[in-house]
Chain A
Amino acid sequence: MEPRIIGTSVPRKEGRDKVTGAARYVDDISFPGMIHGLTVRSPAPRGRIVNMHFDSGIPWPDFTIVTAKDIPGKNCVMLLIDDQPALADGFVNHPEEPVLLLAHPDKYLLEEARRAVRIEIEPSAGVFTIADSLARREIIWGLDNIFKSFRVEKGDVDSAWSSAAFIVEGEYETGAQEQLYIEPQGIIAQAGPAEGVTVWGSLQCPYYVHKALLPLFGLPKDRIRIVQTETGGGFGGKEEYPSMIAAHAALLAWKSGKPVKMIYDRAEDMVATTKRHPSRTIHRTGVTRDGKLLAMEIDFTIDGGAYQTLSPVVLSRGTIHAAGPYECPNVRIKSRAIATNAPPHGAFRGFGAPQSVFALERHLDRIAHVIGLSPEELRRRNFIRKGQTLAVHQVVREQVDLAGLMDRAFELCEYHAKRERFTHENLHAFVKRGIGFASFLHGAGFTGSGEEYLASEAALEVTCEGRVRVFAGSTEMGQGTNTVFTQIAAETLGLGCDQIEIAQPDTARVPNSGPTVASRTTMIVGKLVETSARAVQKSLLDSGLLKSNYTPAEFNAACAAYINVHGPLQSLTKYQHPCDLHWDDERYQGDAYGAYAWAVYVAEVSVDTRTAEVHVDDFVAVQEVGKVINPILAAGQIEGGVAQGIGFALYENCVWQQGRMINGQMTNYIMPTSMDIPPIRVFFEEIPYERGPAGAKGIGELPLDGTAPAIANAIAQATGADIRRIPITPEVLLEILESVHV
C-alpha cells in the first residue's frame, strides 16, 4: 500500500510557534524568585590555583558563591569517565576552565561582580599542538597524553608494498570548528536537598545530563529531572556540554535555594564550550598499475583538549570512516586521541568522519594525479560493492551503486563539460573556476555494540479520545524529530498528523531513547516508535473492538472502549540488536554500522587569484538514504549540513593562543552568510533499509563528510593548488598559489 504521509512534506509540527515568535526557548522562560548565575573561569591554560581574590565595591554577602568545596557529591561531570571536574579544584588544565560560580538577582550587578573576582594561578607549562602532545613535552593527562587509541588491520599491509606500482604519501590537517548554534547554551535549575534537582534547558540529550548530575549530587535517579526546552540548534554542541552548564546552574540553585538561570553570552559560548576535534591524518597508499587500491596505511590523530569527554567515540567513528567506501585488500589504520591544554573538544555533526574523510578524498585526487587517471576513474575502479568488505571487515550487505550516484551527480552539474571548459577558460582569467567532488559513506547509529549498549526505548500511548502520544527521549533541535515521529505514528496507525502529540522530552515522563546524535534518531528511535504504534494497533485489532481498514473515528471509538475494559492502551518498545550484526571491540572489527548512507557531492568554485578568495558557485549533493520520510525536512538537513561544510572548508578558522580561542566573536569567527552560500541542489535515491522505519536510514551527519573535500578538490582543479589543510583561508591559499606559479 502506498504511504499517505511518509514521503510527503508535512509541515513542521512546531512550525507555527516558530514563525510567530511563540516558541519558548530557555531564555524566554522565567520563574518567580529566579536569580541569574554565571561562571568565573581560569585565565591560564594550566597551573595551580593559588588564590581567589574578591575585590571590594561589590556587596558579596548578597551573592551566592559556589566553589568545588560546595559540591554535595563527587566533583565530576560524568560522561564516559569521570576525569573532568565540574569546578576546578586546586588545578586548572585549560583556559576558561570553570573555577567559581556566582548568582544574584541583578543580571547587571552579576556581570560587574565577574570582573571583581581574580583567580590567581601559578602557571605550569602546557601543551598546545598534536605534535607537542605526542612528543610528550609535558604529560598533561594520564601517563602519556593519550585518551584512546585504535588499530584496524585488514589483510597484510606490510607485504603489499612490494607489489604496488605506485606509492603515494600525504599529510592532511583539519582545524577546530565551532558549532555556532544561534541560540547560546542556557539552563534554568531548581535544586535542593528536599526537592531534588530539576533542570530545564537547551540540550540534545536529557538522559546524558541526568546521568551526569547523579554523582555530582549523590541523589537517586528519581530525584533528578531534566526537561528539554525548545532548542535553537545543537549540531553536537549541545550533546555533552549541557551537562556542565546544568551542573553549574544546579549547584547555584542548591546553595541559594532559588531557581537559577544561566545563559551564556556568545563570547563565553565561543571560548569555553566544545569544538570539532582538530585532526592530522597521514596516508600512505599503494596502488596497482591499473589504479586498484592495494594497500592503505592511515595514521589518524585527533586533538581532544584537556579532558577525555567523548574523544574515544569521535576517534572511533573517524577511524572507521578513514578508508572510505572503497575496496582495498590490505588496510592498516592506527589512530589516537590526544590531550592538549585547550577546552575539551567535543561532538560536532560528523563526529570524526569529516576529519578523516577530508584527508582520504583529497589524497585520492592526488593519487589520481600521480598515476595519470582522472579522479573519477580512480574512484570507479575502487568503489565498494555488495558482498565486499570494508576496512573493518564489515561485509557490505546493502545494494550500493556509488558509480551510479557519481554518474548522476556528474550529469546534474555537467561535470565533464565544465571541467573541460574551465581548464580552457582559466588560462586567460584572473578568476579561475574549478569543479571537484568527493565520494563517501556515513554509518548511521552508534558504532558496533553501541546501540546494544544504549538499549534505547520509546513508548506510545493512546487516550480514550484517540489522541496518540509519543514518548521518546529524542529531542527536536530543528532537524525535524517531532515531525518525523508524527509521520511515522500517523502512517502506521492510519490517522492524521493532527491526532499525534509528541511529549516534551522530560526524564520524568519519557523513556531513555538514547542521545539525539549519530544520525540515529529517525533510523533507530523512529523504528521504535513505529513498532510501538504497530503494537498498539495490534492490541486494538486483536481485542475485536476494531476491524482492519478502520476510519479515524472508528479508531477513537475503539480506544475509548478498549481503555474502559482493559485499562491504559500503551506500548513500550526496547531496541533489539539485530542478531546478524556482530562487532568485536577487542580486535576492532566486524559490523560497524547497521546501515550506511552513500553519497557523491560536487562543488563548483571560483578562485579570484588576485585576492585568493574562494566562492562556491554551485553545489550538487546526491545520496542514497533508504527512504525519505519528509522531503523538505530531509533536503533541509542536507542543505544545512553542506553550508556548515562550506564554512568548515573555507571560512571557519579558530585562532588559538596558548590553548585559548582569541577570535571568539561572531565578527571574527566567520560563518557563511546568505551571500556566501550557493544554490545547493539536493537529490535522493532510495533503496529501503529493512530495519529502518519505512526503510529510512540516517542522514543528519552525512553532508559534513563530503562537502569540504569536494571544495578542496575543486580548488585544486581550478588552480593546481595542492590543498592539504582546511580551512582554506585566503591567507593560506595565497601562499600555495604563489608556490604553484614559481
Chain B
Amino acid sequence: MRSYIPSYELVAPRDLAAALQKMATEPGPWKPFAGGTDLMVLLEAGKLPHRKFLSLYNLRELRGIEITHDQVMIGALTTYTEIRRHETLAREFPLLARAAAETGSIATQNRGTLGGNVANASPAADSPPALLVYEAELELVSSATSRWLPYRAFWSGYKQIALRPDELIRRIRLPRPSNANHWRQYYRKVGTRRAQAISKVCFAAAARIDFQRMAEVRIALGSVAPTVFRAAETERILQGESPTPALLRAAQETLAAEIAPIDDIRSTARYRRRITQHLLAEFFAMLSA
C-alpha cells in the first residue's frame, strides 16, 4: 500500500447536477471516481497523482439500461455484471457480453463500470473493441453542455481522450441494427491465462454477409497500438469481397502493417503481430463455416 491516504479527498455529490456543478466551478482538480477497480490499483501502487475525486457510484442518473426500437442506452455506471445479465445485450451485442465476462473476475465485474473503463482509456481494455465494432457513441455532459461523440473519435493518442475537465460520460449508445441476424460476430481475447488476465491481443469483429460476400466489415483491436482502434485499411480491402484464402493473405499483410504492437512486460511485438494475423484467419474461418 504505497500512498498517503490522508492526502486523498473523495466526496460523494448528492446528484449528477451537483457533481457537474463542482466540476464546472473547479475544473481539473476534481476527477470522477466510479467503481474504483482501476483507480484503487493505481492508488495502492503509489501511482495516483490526482488527489481530489468525486464519487459517482451512487448517482442513479448514470445507471440503467434503456432499450428502444433502434438503440440501446447504457448508463455510464453500468457494471460488467449488469451487462452480462441483461438479456437483450447478451443476445444482440454478444461481443460486449463476452468482453464483460472476460474482464477481471466476478468481484471486479461487480464493481467495474463501462463508463469507467471508457474513461480510463487503456488500450488493453476488453470492452472497447466491442464498443468500436458496435459503433458506440458517448454522451458527454457538463453543467452547461451535452454532446454526443462517436466512440471512434474519443482518442487522440495513448490515454489522451476528448473528455473536457468539466465533463462526465453519461451514457453509451449502441445502435440496434434492423438486420442484426445478417451479422456474424467474433471476439477473442488472448491473455496471459484463462481468467483474470490482461490482454495481449484483443480482436473484435463483425461482418454482414450478403450473398457470400462481406457487405460490411468491422474489425476493432486492442493491445496492439497506443489506443484501441478500427483497422480501417484492412476493412477497406475486405469490403464487398468473399473470404478466400488469397484475400486472407492480403488482409493479414495489411493488418500487420496497420497495427503498432510493442514489446512490454507481458508480451512481444512479434507475438502480438503474428497472433493478430492468426485471429483474422480464425474470423475468416468462422465466416466461411
* Bound Cα distance from A730 to B6, whole angstroms: 43
* Cβ-closest chain B residue relative to A663: B265
* Cβ-closest chain B residue relative to A107: B1
Looking at chain B's contact residues, the main secondary structure is loop
Residues of A within 8 A of B2 (CB): 111, 265, 267
Given A111-B2, A267-B2, the answer on whether A676 and B271 have CB atoms closer than 8 Å is: no
Interface members, chain B 142-168 (any A CB < 8 Å):
none
* Bound Cα distance from A662 to B264, whole angstroms: 11
Given A108-B5, A610-B282, A613-B190, the answer on whether A730 and B271 have CB atoms closer than 8 Å is: yes
| A731 contacts B4, C-beta separation under 8 Å | no
Least CB distance from A353 to B in Å reads 26
Residues of A within 8 A of B282 (CB): 430, 610
* Cβ-closest chain A residue relative to B282: A610
Residues of B within 8 A of A109 (CB): 4
B-binding segment of A172-180, A187-195, A217-225, A666-674:
A666-674
Residues of B within 8 A of A667 (CB): 41, 198
Q: Number of A-B pairs whose CB atoms are under 8 Å?
A: 71
Is B24 close to A, CB under 8 A?
A: no
Is B69 close to A, CB under 8 A?
A: no
Size of the B side of the interface (Cβ < 8 Å), in residues, is 31
Given A108-B5, A267-B2, A730-B271, the answer on whether A651 and B265 have CB atoms closer than 8 Å is: no
Binary interface profile of B, 180-197, with partner A (CB < 8 Å = 1, else 0)? 000000000010111111
Indicate which residue in A115, A613, A673 contacts B195 across the interface (CB closer than 8 Å): A673
* Bound Cα distance from A615 to B1, whole angstroms: 34
* Bound Cα distance from A610 to B41, whole angstroms: 32
Residues of B within 8 A of A662 (CB): 265
Given A111-B1, A731-B267, the answer on whether A672 and B193 have CB atoms closer than 8 Å is: yes
Is A742 close to B, CB under 8 A?
A: no
* Bound Cα distance from A275 to B288, whole angstroms: 49
* Cβ-closest chain B residue relative to A106: B6
Binary interface profile of A, 706-742, with partner B (CB < 8 Å = 1, else 0)? 0000000000000000000000001100100010000
A-binding segment of B9-17, B50-58, B248-256, B272-280:
B272-280
Interface members, chain B 192-227 (any A CB < 8 Å):
192-198, 200
* Bound Cα distance from A668 to B41, whole angstroms: 13
Is A551 close to B, CB under 8 A?
A: no
* Bound Cα distance from A670 to B193, whole angstroms: 7
Is A611 close to B, CB under 8 A?
A: yes
* Cβ-closest chain A residue relative to B268: A731
* Bound Cα distance from A330 to B134, whole angstroms: 68
Least CB distance from A159 to B in Å reads 47
Least CB distance from A43 to B in Å reads 15
Interface members, chain B 1-42 (any A CB < 8 Å):
1-6, 41
| B190 contacts A611, C-beta separation under 8 Å | yes
Given A267-B45, A667-B198, A670-B193, the answer on whether A610 and B4 have CB atoms closer than 8 Å is: no
Is A112 close to B, CB under 8 A?
A: yes
Least CB distance from B3 to A in Å reads 7
Residues of A within 8 A of B270 (CB): 731, 734
Is A655 close to B, CB under 8 A?
A: yes
Residues of A within 8 A of B245 (CB): none
Is A19 close to B, CB under 8 A?
A: no
Is A565 close to B, CB under 8 A?
A: no
Residues of A within 8 A of B262 (CB): none
Binary interface profile of A, 645-684, with partner B (CB < 8 Å = 1, else 0)? 0000001000100000011010110101111100000000
* Bound Cα distance from A338 to B274, whole angstroms: 37
Is B231 close to A, CB under 8 A?
A: no
Looking at chain A's contact residues, the main secondary structure is loop
* Bound Cα distance from A112 to B3, whole angstroms: 7
Binary interface profile of A, 109-128, with partner B (CB < 8 Å = 1, else 0)? 10110010000000000000
* Bound Cα distance from A613 to B271, whole angstroms: 11
| A610 contacts B281, C-beta separation under 8 Å | yes
* Bound Cα distance from A584 to B46, whole angstroms: 54
Least CB distance from B192 to A in Å reads 5
| A651 contacts B193, C-beta separation under 8 Å | yes
* Cβ-closest chain A residue relative to B4: A112
* Bound Cα distance from A738 to B278, whole angstroms: 13
Least CB distance from B41 to A in Å reads 8
| B271 contacts A731, C-beta separation under 8 Å | yes
Interface members, chain A 625-647 (any B CB < 8 Å):
none
Residues of A within 8 A of B268 (CB): 731
| B3 contacts A611, C-beta separation under 8 Å | no
| A108 contacts B4, C-beta separation under 8 Å | yes
Interface members, chain A 247-275 (any B CB < 8 Å):
265, 267
| B3 contacts A111, C-beta separation under 8 Å | yes
* Bound Cα distance from A107 to B1, whole angstroms: 9
* Bound Cα distance from A430 to B268, whole angstroms: 22
Residues of B within 8 A of A111 (CB): 1-4, 46
* Bound Cα distance from A610 to B274, whole angstroms: 9
Residues of B within 8 A of A267 (CB): 2, 45
Is B91 close to A, CB under 8 A?
A: no
* Bound Cα distance from A670 to B194, whole angstroms: 11
Given A111-B3, A111-B4, A610-B282, the answer on whether A655 and B194 have CB atoms closer than 8 Å is: no
| B275 contacts A668, C-beta separation under 8 Å | no
| A673 contacts B6, C-beta separation under 8 Å | no
Is B85 close to A, CB under 8 A?
A: no
Residues of B within 8 A of A610 (CB): 275, 278-279, 281-282
| B6 contacts A734, C-beta separation under 8 Å | no
| B266 contacts A676, C-beta separation under 8 Å | no
A sample of 6 more A-B contacts (CB under 8 A), given A676-B195, A734-B270, A734-B275, is A267-B45, A612-B271, A668-B265, A674-B195, A731-B271, A734-B274
17 chain-A/chain-B pairs, Cβ below 8 angstroms: A111-B1, A111-B2, A265-B1, A430-B282, A610-B282, A611-B275, A662-B265, A665-B45, A667-B198, A668-B265, A670-B197, A674-B195, A676-B195, A730-B267, A730-B271, A731-B270, A734-B275
Chain A residues within 8 Å of B, Cβ to Cβ:
107-109, 111-112, 115, 265, 267, 430, 610-613, 615, 651, 655, 662-663, 665, 667-668, 670, 672-676, 730-731, 734, 738
7 tightest CB-CB pairs across the interface, nearest first? A675-B194, A610-B278, A675-B195, A112-B4, A731-B271, A673-B195, A670-B192
Chain B residues within 8 Å of A, Cβ to Cβ:
1-6, 41, 44-46, 190, 192-198, 200, 265-268, 270-271, 274-275, 278-279, 281-282
